[in-house]
Amino acid sequence: MELHGGEMHASSRVAILGRYRRYSDLRKEIQSAALGNVSESSFLAHAKRIGLSDGRVIFADDDSEVALVYDLALYTAQPGRTRAIDRCARKRLTAAQPDEALVLQALQASRFSIFRVIGRGEPAGVLLEDLMRGGTIPLLDEGLERSARPGEVFAMRVAPIEDFVITCGVVVPFIERTLSVQFLDKSVYYISEVPSDLQRADIVLIAAIALLLALLATLYPSWRAAKVNPAEALRYE
Protein backbone atom coordinates (compact mmCIF):
# COMPACT_ATOMS: atom_id res chain seq x y z
CA MET A 1 0.00 0.00 0.00
CA GLU A 2 1.36 3.41 -0.96
CA LEU A 3 0.90 6.32 1.40
CA HIS A 4 1.25 9.96 0.41
CA GLY A 5 1.68 13.08 2.57
CA GLY A 6 -1.35 13.49 4.79
CA GLU A 7 -2.19 9.78 4.72
CA MET A 8 1.24 8.87 6.07
CA HIS A 9 0.96 11.64 8.69
CA ALA A 10 -2.48 10.39 9.79
CA SER A 11 -1.25 6.79 9.98
CA SER A 12 1.77 7.83 12.06
CA ARG A 13 -0.39 9.93 14.39
CA VAL A 14 -2.83 7.08 14.97
CA ALA A 15 0.04 4.70 15.75
CA ILE A 16 1.73 7.11 18.15
CA LEU A 17 -1.49 7.97 19.99
CA GLY A 18 -2.27 4.26 20.24
CA ARG A 19 1.07 3.68 22.01
CA TYR A 20 0.53 6.73 24.20
CA ARG A 21 -2.90 5.50 25.34
CA ARG A 22 -1.49 2.06 26.10
CA TYR A 23 1.34 3.56 28.16
CA SER A 24 -1.05 5.96 29.88
CA ASP A 25 -3.34 3.10 30.96
CA LEU A 26 -0.36 1.14 32.27
CA ARG A 27 0.91 4.22 34.10
CA LYS A 28 -2.39 4.64 35.93
CA GLU A 29 -2.55 0.95 36.84
CA ILE A 30 1.05 0.90 38.12
CA GLN A 31 0.63 4.06 40.17
CA SER A 32 -2.56 2.68 41.75
CA ALA A 33 -0.76 -0.57 42.64
CA ALA A 34 2.21 1.33 44.10
CA LEU A 35 -0.08 3.49 46.23
CA GLY A 36 -1.66 0.32 47.62
CA ASN A 37 1.67 -0.48 49.29
CA VAL A 38 2.04 2.92 50.97
CA SER A 39 1.37 2.65 54.69
CA GLU A 40 -1.17 4.88 56.37
CA SER A 41 1.50 6.43 58.59
CA SER A 42 3.67 7.26 55.56
CA PHE A 43 0.71 8.76 53.73
CA LEU A 44 -0.15 10.91 56.75
CA ALA A 45 3.48 12.02 57.06
CA HIS A 46 3.51 13.23 53.46
CA ALA A 47 0.19 15.02 54.02
CA LYS A 48 1.57 16.70 57.15
CA ARG A 49 4.53 18.07 55.16
CA ILE A 50 2.17 20.24 53.12
CA GLY A 51 -0.26 21.14 55.90
CA LEU A 52 -2.99 18.62 55.02
CA SER A 53 -2.71 16.53 58.18
CA ASP A 54 -1.87 16.74 61.86
CA GLY A 55 -0.34 13.26 61.66
CA ARG A 56 -3.62 11.58 62.58
CA VAL A 57 -6.23 12.66 60.02
CA ILE A 58 -6.32 14.24 56.55
CA PHE A 59 -7.69 17.77 56.17
CA ALA A 60 -8.26 17.68 52.40
CA ASP A 61 -11.17 19.71 51.05
CA ASP A 62 -11.30 18.03 47.65
CA ASP A 63 -9.83 15.23 45.55
CA SER A 64 -7.11 17.44 44.06
CA GLU A 65 -5.50 17.93 47.47
CA VAL A 66 -5.49 14.17 48.08
CA ALA A 67 -3.97 13.61 44.62
CA LEU A 68 -1.08 15.89 45.55
CA VAL A 69 -0.35 13.73 48.59
CA TYR A 70 -0.51 10.64 46.36
CA ASP A 71 2.20 12.12 44.16
CA LEU A 72 4.46 12.87 47.11
CA ALA A 73 3.89 9.39 48.52
CA LEU A 74 4.83 7.79 45.19
CA TYR A 75 7.83 9.80 44.07
CA THR A 76 9.51 11.06 47.23
CA ALA A 77 10.93 9.37 50.33
CA GLN A 78 12.56 10.24 53.60
CA PRO A 79 16.39 9.98 53.75
CA GLY A 80 17.43 6.35 53.98
CA ARG A 81 14.06 5.11 52.69
CA THR A 82 13.08 3.90 49.21
CA ARG A 83 10.37 5.45 47.07
CA ALA A 84 7.08 3.61 46.65
CA ILE A 85 7.48 3.62 42.86
CA ASP A 86 10.90 1.93 43.19
CA ARG A 87 9.54 -0.77 45.48
CA CYS A 88 6.71 -1.42 43.03
CA ALA A 89 9.15 -1.64 40.10
CA ARG A 90 11.39 -4.15 41.87
CA LYS A 91 8.40 -6.36 42.56
CA ARG A 92 6.93 -6.24 39.05
CA LEU A 93 9.89 -5.95 36.68
CA THR A 94 10.88 -9.63 36.82
CA ALA A 95 7.52 -10.77 35.42
CA ALA A 96 6.57 -7.66 33.44
CA GLN A 97 5.72 -7.67 29.75
CA PRO A 98 7.84 -5.36 27.56
CA ASP A 99 5.34 -2.45 27.61
CA GLU A 100 4.86 -2.68 31.36
CA ALA A 101 8.61 -2.84 31.96
CA LEU A 102 9.08 0.23 29.77
CA VAL A 103 6.50 2.21 31.76
CA LEU A 104 7.91 1.05 35.11
CA GLN A 105 11.38 2.23 34.17
CA ALA A 106 9.97 5.50 32.84
CA LEU A 107 8.15 6.22 36.10
CA GLN A 108 11.31 5.52 38.06
CA ALA A 109 13.13 8.04 35.85
CA SER A 110 10.33 10.63 36.02
CA ARG A 111 11.40 14.17 36.85
CA PHE A 112 9.92 17.47 37.83
CA SER A 113 10.75 20.59 35.85
CA ILE A 114 9.38 23.86 34.51
CA PHE A 115 8.44 23.86 30.84
CA ARG A 116 7.48 26.38 28.18
CA VAL A 117 5.29 25.37 25.26
CA ILE A 118 7.04 25.95 21.94
CA GLY A 119 4.22 24.68 19.73
CA ARG A 120 2.49 21.63 18.39
CA GLY A 121 4.54 18.49 17.91
CA GLU A 122 4.47 16.42 14.75
CA PRO A 123 2.62 14.22 14.21
CA ALA A 124 1.13 14.47 17.74
CA GLY A 125 1.58 16.13 21.12
CA VAL A 126 3.39 19.38 21.95
CA LEU A 127 7.03 20.45 21.89
CA LEU A 128 8.33 21.78 25.21
CA GLU A 129 11.42 23.68 26.29
CA ASP A 130 12.84 22.58 29.63
CA LEU A 131 13.55 25.86 31.43
CA MET A 132 15.47 24.22 34.28
CA ARG A 133 17.67 21.72 32.45
CA GLY A 134 17.69 23.15 28.95
CA GLY A 135 16.82 21.44 25.69
CA THR A 136 13.49 20.51 24.15
CA ILE A 137 11.31 17.44 24.60
CA PRO A 138 8.20 16.16 22.79
CA LEU A 139 5.30 15.58 25.17
CA LEU A 140 2.40 13.28 24.34
CA ASP A 141 -0.71 14.35 26.23
CA GLU A 142 -4.03 14.65 24.45
CA GLY A 143 -5.48 17.13 26.93
CA LEU A 144 -2.48 19.45 26.78
CA GLU A 145 -2.32 19.11 23.00
CA ARG A 146 -5.84 20.52 22.82
CA SER A 147 -5.44 23.29 25.39
CA ALA A 148 -1.80 24.49 25.41
CA ARG A 149 -0.76 27.64 23.55
CA PRO A 150 2.77 28.60 22.50
CA GLY A 151 4.54 30.57 25.22
CA GLU A 152 2.57 29.11 28.13
CA VAL A 153 4.71 28.05 31.07
CA PHE A 154 3.90 25.29 33.51
CA ALA A 155 5.58 22.96 35.98
CA MET A 156 4.96 19.24 36.37
CA ARG A 157 6.40 15.75 36.52
CA VAL A 158 7.03 13.88 33.28
CA ALA A 159 8.23 10.36 32.48
CA PRO A 160 10.41 9.57 29.42
CA ILE A 161 9.13 6.70 27.24
CA GLU A 162 10.66 5.85 23.86
CA ASP A 163 11.32 9.16 22.11
CA PHE A 164 8.73 11.25 23.99
CA VAL A 165 7.54 11.95 27.54
CA ILE A 166 4.15 11.54 29.20
CA THR A 167 2.71 13.36 32.19
CA CYS A 168 2.61 11.48 35.47
CA GLY A 169 2.52 13.93 38.35
CA VAL A 170 1.45 17.31 39.65
CA VAL A 171 2.00 21.00 39.02
CA VAL A 172 3.56 23.51 41.37
CA PRO A 173 1.02 26.34 41.67
CA PHE A 174 3.08 28.82 43.69
CA ILE A 175 4.94 29.53 40.44
CA GLU A 176 1.57 30.34 38.88
CA ARG A 177 0.88 32.87 41.59
CA THR A 178 4.39 34.34 41.40
CA LEU A 179 4.29 34.80 37.64
CA SER A 180 0.52 35.43 37.39
CA VAL A 181 0.29 32.60 34.87
CA GLN A 182 -2.06 29.62 34.90
CA PHE A 183 0.19 26.69 33.99
CA LEU A 184 -2.39 23.92 33.71
CA ASP A 185 -6.14 23.90 33.28
CA LYS A 186 -7.85 22.03 36.11
CA SER A 187 -10.23 20.52 33.55
CA VAL A 188 -7.22 18.80 31.95
CA TYR A 189 -4.98 17.88 34.91
CA TYR A 190 -6.02 16.41 38.21
CA ILE A 191 -3.96 18.90 40.22
CA SER A 192 -4.40 22.63 39.72
CA GLU A 193 -3.11 24.06 43.02
CA VAL A 194 -1.02 23.32 46.07
CA PRO A 195 -3.23 23.82 49.13
CA SER A 196 -2.33 25.97 52.13
CA ASP A 197 -3.75 25.55 55.60
CA LEU A 198 -4.02 28.68 57.76
CA GLN A 199 -3.95 27.77 61.45
CA ARG A 200 -5.85 30.09 63.78
CA ALA A 201 -3.25 29.67 66.53
CA ASP A 202 -0.47 30.73 64.14
CA ILE A 203 -2.39 33.84 63.07
CA VAL A 204 -3.10 34.86 66.68
CA LEU A 205 0.53 34.30 67.70
CA ILE A 206 1.91 36.32 64.79
CA ALA A 207 -0.54 39.16 65.44
CA ALA A 208 0.32 39.21 69.17
CA ILE A 209 4.05 39.32 68.49
CA ALA A 210 3.58 42.14 65.97
CA LEU A 211 1.57 44.19 68.48
CA LEU A 212 4.14 43.55 71.22
CA LEU A 213 7.01 44.66 68.99
CA ALA A 214 5.09 47.79 67.99
CA LEU A 215 4.51 48.60 71.67
CA LEU A 216 8.15 48.03 72.60
CA ALA A 217 9.22 50.28 69.74
CA THR A 218 7.35 53.20 71.35
CA LEU A 219 8.90 52.87 74.83
CA TYR A 220 12.31 54.43 74.18
CA PRO A 221 10.99 57.46 72.25
CA SER A 222 8.38 58.00 74.98
CA TRP A 223 11.02 57.80 77.72
CA ARG A 224 13.22 60.34 75.91
CA ALA A 225 10.28 62.66 75.35
CA ALA A 226 9.30 62.49 79.04
CA LYS A 227 12.74 63.74 80.09
CA VAL A 228 12.52 66.85 77.93
CA ASN A 229 11.59 70.12 79.70
CA PRO A 230 8.89 71.73 77.50
CA ALA A 231 10.02 75.26 78.34
CA GLU A 232 13.62 74.40 77.46
CA ALA A 233 12.56 72.81 74.18
CA LEU A 234 10.41 75.83 73.22
CA ARG A 235 13.24 78.16 73.98
CA TYR A 236 15.02 77.14 70.79
CA GLU A 237 11.93 77.30 68.56
pLDDT digits (tens, 9 = 90+) for 36-57: 888 888 888 888 887 877 878 8
1 falls within a domain: no
9-22 mean pLDDT: 81
What does the mean pLDDT of the chain come to? 78
231 falls within a domain: no
107-123 mean pLDDT: 88
Whole-number pLDDT of residue 66:
75
Pair 60, 135 in one domain: yes
149-170 mean pLDDT: 84
Pair 117, 167 in one domain: yes
191 falls within a domain: no
21-48 mean pLDDT: 86
Pair 54, 151 in one domain: yes
Whole-number pLDDT of residue 101:
93
* Neighbour tally for 49: CB within 10 Å: 13
184 falls within a domain: no
154 falls within a domain: yes
Pair 128, 44 in one domain: yes
Q: Which domain holds residue 126?
A: 6-179
Least confident of 42-46, 53-57, 101-105, 176-180: 176-180
The DSSP code sequence of the chain is: ----THHHHHHHHHHHHHHHHHHHHHHHHHHHHHHTTS-HHHHHHHHHHTTSBSSSSB--SSHHHHHHHHHHHHH---TT---HHHHHHHHHGGG--HHHHHHHHHHHT-EEEEEEEEEE-SSSSEEEEETTT-SEEEE--HHHHHH--TT-EEEEEEEEETTEEEE-S---HHHHHHHT---S-TTTSS---------HHHHHHHHHHHHHHHHHHHHHHHHHHHTS-HHHHHHT-
pLDDT digits (tens, 9 = 90+) for 202-231: 788 889 999 999 888 888 888 877 776 765
Whole-number pLDDT of residue 209:
92
64 falls within a domain: yes
Pair 105, 16 in one domain: yes
Pair 216, 156 in one domain: no
Pair 51, 123 in one domain: yes
Q: How many domains does the chain have?
A: 2
* Neighbour tally for 104: CB within 10 Å: 24
188 falls within a domain: no
117-138 mean pLDDT: 89
Residue from 120, 137, 123, 141 nearest 20 by CA: 141
- With beta carbons less than 8 A apart as the criterion, state whether 59 and 197 touch: yes
Q: Is the dihedral of CA 6, 9, 13, 15 positive or negative?
A: positive
